[in-house]
Amino acid sequence: MEEVWDRQTLLAAYEVMRRLRLGRFAGVLSAGKEARVYRAIGRDGREYAVKIYLTVTAEFRKSIQKYLLGDPRFENVDTSNTKKLFFAWARKEFRNLKRMYEAGVRVPRPILVHQNIVVMEFLGRDGLRAPTLHEIRHEIDPELAEQLAREAIDQYTRIYCCARLVHADYSEYNLVYLDGQLYVIDVAQAVSLEHPNAGDFLRHDVENIYRFFAKQLGVELPEPEELLERVRACQTKCPEKRREEQGGREQQYQAS
Ligand SMILES: Nc1ncnc2c1ncn2[C@@H]1O[C@H](COP(=O)(O)OP(=O)(O)OP(=O)(O)O)[C@@H](O)[C@H]1O
Ligand SMILES: [Mg+2]
């Protein structure tokens, strides 16, 4: 196991392992600036992605200011306590994931949040994580590019219209490709539509879609302004009932 884990994280990881009956951690999927993502395997053989927030960078502090405090769901977080910030950030990621999942957005299924640890469905095959669109950008042919552009816009529209959130970091780095379909990941920074900067984040996300799919992959797309209008028009069918309201499902999340 990684030596960077402090004692509290280690204890939190044991608690997660106990609750999910995890057998072992099986490799690092990604070591980002703030978080590490691990693959873990349950005693029943099921795979999980475990994201652990470990390091406070200057950027992380900025993100807290920018994406956490403006969100009415997280107004009362004590920002002077670093541990509490991590916990709030992990909880924010979990809640965003849950809200998107229930709104029919293709995101990894949220499974559990505990302190600075978020557990979700593992996206991958044969122990290998699914690649990001950035990683496969040179192998995407025009037909696939068009399909993925359509899906990226469709998933985004669902996030906005059905989950009532703005992703705020929507790009080829946070979209992954698995079994011929696109999945959205990395949702900690997503904000609710009431956030004072939601409009700016929305515009930026749409510009990112345009930059990657139109400029880089050559897909014919309407200009960003027009794309933005299409997203805002919400011509998409949202799930009739939020999945959590159908009863019974809530227990699966074991949120704490
Ligand atoms: N559910 C998952 N299943 C498989 N792989 C995942 C999953 N979640 C994240 N990953 C992998 O871990 C990487 C980092 O995850 P994520 O983008 O959520 O974290 P991050 O802290 O933003 O990291 P970065 O700074 O690298 O963007 C992803 O690019 C992806 O390769
Ligand atoms: Mg990311």
Domain boundaries, the chain: 7-128, 131-233
Closest atom, ligand 1, to C-alpha of 123: 3
Domains 7-128 and 131-233 are alike in CATH topology: no
**pLDDT at res. 241:** 67
Q: How many CA atoms lie within 13 Å of 55's alpha carbon, on the beta-carbon side?
A: 11
Ligand 1 centroid to residue 216 C-alpha, Å: 22
Give the C-alpha distances (Å, rounded to integers) separating 133 from 70, 128, 141, 222: 30, 15, 12, 21
pLDDT digits 0-9 by tens, 67-88: 988 888 888 888 888 888 889 9
Eight-class DSSP state of 14: H
The overall pTM is greater than 0.75: yes
Instruction: Tell me what pLDDT residue 68 has.
Output: 87
Residue 36, helix vs strand vs coil: strand
With H, G, I as helix, E, B as strand and everything else as coil, classify residue 210.
helix
Model confidence over 47-71: pLDDT tens digits? 999 999 988 888 888 888 889 888 8
Catalytic residue status for 154: no
What pLDDT is stored for residue 229 in this prediction? 97
Q: In sequence order, what are the residues at sequence separation of 6 or more whose Cβ sits closer than 8 angstroms to the Cβ of residue 111?
A: 20, 48, 119, 120, 121, 252, 253, 254
Question: Domain 7-128 adopts which CATH fold?
Answer: Phosphorylase Kinase; domain 1 (3.30.200)
Instruction: Give the residue, by CA position, lying nearest to ligand 1 atom 13.
Output: 30
User: Which of 184, 186, 208 has the most ligand 1 atoms within 8 A of CB, as the residue to mutate?
Assistant: 186
Q: Which CATH number fits domain 131-233: 3.10.450.50, 1.10.10.10, 3.40.50.300, 1.10.510.10?
A: 1.10.510.10
pLDDT tens-digit series, residues 118-155:
999 999 998 999 999 999 999 999 999 999 999 999 99
Atom of ligand 1 nearest to the CA of 37: 12
The one-letter amino acid at 227: L
Active-site annotation holder among 141, 154, 186, 200: 186
Location of structure tokens 């345009």: 210
Do 238 and 164 meet the contact criterion of CB atoms below 8 Å apart? no
Query: Does pLDDT of 248 surpass 50?
Result: no
